[in-house]
Amino acid sequence: MIEYRDVQAAQARIAPHIVRTPLLRVPALDEALGCQVYLKHEGFQTIGAFKLRGALNKALSLSEEELGRGLVCASSGNHAQGVAYAAQAAGVSATIVMPTTTPLVKVNNTKDYGAKVVLHGETFDDAAELAAKLSEEEGLTYVHPFNDPAIATGQGTISYEIFQDLPDVDVILVPIGGGGLATGVSTLAKLLNPNVTVIGVEPSGAASMKASLDAGHVVTLDRVETIADGVAVKTPGDQIFPYIQKNIDDIITIPDDELVDAFLDMMEKHKMIVENSGLLTIAALNHIDCKGKCVVPILSGGNMDVITMSSLVQHGLIRRGRVFTFSVLLPDQPGELVKVAKIVSEQQGNIIKLEHNQFVSINRQAEVELQVTLEAFGHNHKAAIVKAMEDAGYKVQLVSTTGVQL
């Protein structure tokens, strides 16, 4: 059983190595939601994510014999860096098995903490299989990313800090993947205040914990599909599942498109970079009635590569009608392009890109296709530009360039 003294001991054990992340006030969210929002942003953590807490607590509570054998784990991201850092802090070796699809920045970050990185397979399951084999064959101590009470206890130090800084917290929102973070946070929260509400948040495309709670036992999903890769878990942890059953009051599921909106809001309005898994709790604020309450969404991390950020920005702008593409058919003669540009300019649109296709028609002298990508102020402005084009006699076709519904 995880008890208060366990988390208190974990806090003392890992304190020299972690950042005591602050509770950040966001007045704009307060005003929009009618409550007091305090963000617990683990993106400010030493490795940029909460995973360091559990990895450190596990490593630093091992026996000398277990540590001396070296550590091994499978991960494609934050847990890898957490275990690598923990091994370095404990003065032992670490072998991290990562899928070959892992972004280079995460591989290099893990190596920077002194770990040996082995790239194997295309999925986490492939990497986990090799990590378990190395543990058995070479005697390395396996550090599971979530299915371990010692890992969960380390993550519970987040609740320890929340209650020290905000004793009157009413609601805690916590992301759920395998369940380690949610176990630690909810267990300590209920020990400190049984009346506090702890709500787990999962992506709709990987809601394995909700499915398990509904079934009354751990289940395995056939597949997971979500941009929140850090919580894309098919099977939750069986060792920690009873804690979830006891201490999580509810689970909210969030579709990926809401995570895209949340990313854009956090970056543009609040100047924060939050990884997709951490955005779950921000999106969940729109699904709860929190008026007059003190709410703490836990933002699990901020590790995101620039290519992913660029994609999210593009998708977010398209979803909000701030970037769109349309095509029109034009006679292939001088001055036609100028006419289109003039209409867009008069409507205060900003053209980003033009594509001219002469092969859309058999008779290219008769008509060619012009694709126009431009910036707008939102859906109303987008509609006004399209209407102006249609009023000028053009047949406008909206074009999807990213799969985002127009």
Domains recognised in the chain with CATH numbers:
4-50+149-315 (3.40.50.1100), 53-142 (3.40.50.1100), 321-399 (3.30.70.260)
- Catalytic choice (51, 106, 210, 382): 51
The Cα 368–Cα 237 span in angstroms is 58
Q: What pLDDT, on the 0 to 100 scale, is given for residue 364?
A: 57
SS3 354: strand
The DSSP bridge pattern shows strands 323-330 and 368-375 to be antiparallel
pLDDT for residue 101: 80
pLDDT at 366: 65
Q: Is residue 269 annotated as a catalytic residue, yes or no? A: no
How does DSSP classify residue 358?
T
- pTM assigned to the model: 0.88
Q: Could you give the CA distance from residue 330 to residue 135 in angstroms, rounded to a whole number? A: 66
Nearest alpha carbon to residue 47 among 374, 283, 364, 303: 303
pLDDT of res. 34:
94
| Cβ–Cβ < 8 Å for 161, 20 | yes
Q: How many CA atoms lie within 13 A of 157 on its CB side?
A: 30
Residue in the structure block whose two tokens are 């683990």? 42
51 is catalytic: yes
Q: What pLDDT does 363 receive?
A: 62
Instruction: Say which of 75, 300, 327, 382 is annotated catalytic.
Output: 300
- pLDDT for residue 105: 80
**pLDDT score recorded for residue 362:** 60
238: its two tokens? 């069986």
Which regions in the chain score pLDDT beneath 50?
A: 405-406
